[in-house]
Chain A
Amino acid sequence: MNPFRLHATPGKVTALALSWVLFSAGILSYFYVAGKRHAENPDDRVTPTISQMVSAFQSASLEPFEEEIAEEGATQKSIWSSISSSMLWKDTAATTWRFLISVALLFPAVVLGLHMAMFPYVGAFFLRFFQFFDKIVALSLLPILFIAFGIDELSKVMLIVIGVAPTIVLDTFNLSKSVPREQIVKAFTLGAGDLAVTYRIIFKQIWPHVLNSIRLNLKAVMLFLFAGEMIASADGLAYRIALLRRNMAMDTIVPYVLWVALLLFLVDLALNTINRKMHPWFQEI
């Protein structure tokens, strides 16, 4: 059978093997280069070996943070308390907090987009502005953001909101507009009011699509968050990566990057699963 035909179906084992080819090629070539560099220079920091990364990750996730040692001294603690006082935990907590606030602030954008689509006056008021605002590269306006929001948490969250909210507003607007007009007419003939049509006819239908759109924008949220943390902060995952880059501690950076990828993957998976459970009728296009 020719495997390069449209109707060719790989078996389960073949499919699994194929999906791992690029992973193993990447991993193998990395360790080939790392091995070569370490043979040349045992102190090489650019391409850490797997044992170096494992030990760096262990010390980042299990050992108490250096500032703590100075204050409390080395006392025996349970695994949980040593994890919760570790560098990785503190960074993850700081970044997760910012991430959740930013995502929560995206939901008002959904309501706004919906109202813009349903009420022509609201639409006329906001639409042009958001279409323009959507194309502004928020990062280049940082100095202005600093003046308006200081350089603490607020400016980081606002950077994300300004960067991602217009996309969500416009997306919700377009999704709401794409619901067939006949349904609105029908709802009115059955005696529905304005808000009933908006929330019980339109919103119910577009909600899974909107969740999906927020899910697809999570990476943009994370990018803006990382940019913000790298510019000015005192904790967070991107802060740590920016700091570790200064002494080329790739043995900690590589596990950190993988950890961020894993977290993002889990959030993505969770949102997707919740969406499907809540709306079994929803089929992703």
Chain B
Amino acid sequence: MLFSRFLHVNIRKPFLTSLICACLCLLSGSQTIVVAQQKPSFTVGWSIYVGWNPYHYMARSGVLKKWADKYGIDIKVQRFDYAPSLDAFVAKNIDGCVMTNMEALDMPAAAGVDTTAIIVGDYSNGNDAVLTRQNLTLAQIPGKQVLLVEKTVSQYLFERAMTLAGQGPQLKRVKYINTSDADIAAAFLSDKSKPAVVTWKPMVSQIAKGGDAKVIFDSSQIPGEILDLLVVRTEILNRADGSGQKFAKAITGAWYEVMAQMSGTGPAADKVLSGIAEAAQDTLASYKEQLSTTKMFYTPQAALAITTSPALAKTMDLVRQFCFSHGLLGDRTLSVDDVAIQFPDGTVLGKKDRVRFRFSTAFMQLAAQGKL
């Protein structure tokens, strides 16, 4: 009894005060929300990868804010794990997201979310690799177990490798073991009975350091097929108030400013690269090593060259056939043409009335002309 009275006297009052405080905070919070709503706000999701880490630096160094202010908008960048970032983009929780050309096709586009690629940032030029033990060749893999994250670019790379080696018909005999990317390096290194693994950097480097496995095929042998993009929902670009266009211009401007800083040499560029490496808790040396197997498009001109080249349509055709034959476009997509892709020159791969994925050069073009 005495104790409860003690409680009442001494705890109730601070409790009430804090309740009032909380209410006040909420009120003031909602006021700032009202202010922010007058300024259009956009969110871009990114995940850790050599070609995407610059987004972290872009936000931290203030480059992004400078460009957003120039266009009178707010842009936030938010770090995700890769798969959840795709989920968030498809669920329309974020406005822009980084992903590969394959995922852009089989996640948002195949789920009916009209998607436009506005920046082609880089392509994997050795980042993704097939590694084997005991000098096993591609021709010897059928009938054996392969560790990889199934139905991702890893499987695409492996099947392209097998096809190029003339082993396409043998693919059915390969036994895939679906292994989470977080554990694949540890799993392969510790289980010596598994002869082959397909993964990407930095796991490739960890496995190669382990000593007994060697790279027998990597993405530099299929250059330009695994593209890393910044995509946005097409409906945002078409917003009546023009805020979506401003968003695309601002982020493209910021991106190429960071690219210019990155591509320099000397201590200034190293400082930028360290800032970027920090995004992944990585060291400068390790990041540079990853950059060496990534073909970055440091200038808008370089990015335009690959986006407008006829090779892109060939690549996308390989990718869409892979996605379709592995059921990645969904069970109810009965024809590969039902998820159509539009290229910058207006040509369409697939049915013209079912365009779901577009490559746009509009903003890279503006950047190249210095008109941002």
Bound-complex Cα distance A59 to B330 (A): 13
Contact with A along B183-220 (1 / 0, CB 8 A): 11011001101100000000000000000000000000
Instruction: State which residues 28-47 of A face B: CB under 8 Å.
Output: 41-46
Determine how close the nearest CB of chain B comes to the CB of A236; give it in whole angstroms. Answer: 10
A247 near B106 (CB under 8 angstroms)? yes
B314 contacts A by Cβ under 8 Å: no
B190–A46 contact, CB under 8 A? no
Residue with the greatest number of chain A CB neighbours at <10 A, chosen from B90, B152, B191: B191
**A151 B112 Cβ-Cβ under 8 A:** no
A15 to B165, CA, bound (A): 67
B175 A232 Cβ-Cβ under 8 A: no
For residue A245, which residues in chain B have a CB less than 8 angstroms away from its CB?
83
Cβ of B110 and Cβ of A143 under 8 Å apart? no
Please give, as numbers and ranges, the residues of chain A lying within 8 Å of B331 by CB-CB distance: 56, 59, 249, 251-252
A22 at the interface (CB under 8 A from B): no
Kindly list chain B residues whose C-beta atoms are within 8 Å of the C-beta of A108.
none
Do residues A151 and B187 form an inter-chain contact, with CB atoms below 8 A?
yes
Residues of A with C-beta under 8 A to B176: 234
> A231 at the A/B interface (Cβ < 8 Å)?
yes
Q: How far is the CB of B363 from chain A (nearest CB, A)?
A: 25
Any chain A CB within 8 A of the CB of B328? yes
Cβ-neighbour of B179 out of A56, A67, A232 (below 8 A): A232
Q: Which of B91, B111, B112, B152 contacts A246 (CB 8 A)?
A: B152
| B304 close to A (CB within 8 Å) | no
A67-B171 Cα distance, complex, nearest whole Å: 12
Mask: chain A, 106-149; 1 = CB below 8 Å from B; 0 = not: 00000000000000000000000000000000000011001100
- Which residues of the partner chain B approach A211 to less than 8 Å between Cβ atoms? none
Alpha-carbon distance A41/B331, docked complex (angstroms): 17
Q: Report how many residues on chain B are interfacial, defined by Cβ distance under 8 Å.
A: 37
Taken together as a complex, chains A and B put the C-alpha atoms of A251 and B327 apart, in Å, by 14
Q: Which of B156-198 contact A (CB under 8 A)?
A: 172, 175-180, 182-184, 186-187, 190-191, 193-194
State the Cβ distance, A270 to closest chain B Cβ, in Å: 31
Q: A247-B107, A247-B110 are in contact. Are A45 and B178 (CB under 8 A)?
A: no
Whether A231 contacts B151 by the Cβ 8 Å rule is no
Q: Does B282 contact A (CB under 8 A)?
A: no
Say if the beta carbon of A26 comes within 8 Å of chain B.
no
A50 interface hit (Cβ, 8 Å) = no
Asked if B367 is at the interface (CB within 8 A of a chain A CB), the reply is no
B226 part of interface (Cβ distance < 8 Å): no
What does the 1/0 interface line of A60-96 toward B look like (CB < 8 Å)? 0000001100100000000000000000000000000
User: In the bound complex, what is the Cα–Cα distance between A180 and B331 (angstroms)?
Assistant: 62
* Contact B178 A239, beta carbon cutoff 8 Å: yes
**Among A142, A245, A246, A252, which residue has the most Cβ atoms of chain B within 10 A?**
A246
- With an 8 A cutoff between CB atoms, is B130 at the interface? no
Tell me, yes or no, whether B94 is within 8 Å of chain A by CB: no
Q: Is the CB of A43 within 8 A of B180?
A: no
CB <8 Å contact, B90 and A248: yes
Asked if A243 is at the interface (CB within 8 A of a chain B CB), the reply is yes
Interface string of B356-368 (1 = CB under 8 A from A): 1000000000000
Given A143-B190, A230-B180, output 5 extra A-B contacts at Cβ < 8 Å: A46-B91, A232-B184, A242-B178, A243-B150, A246-B152
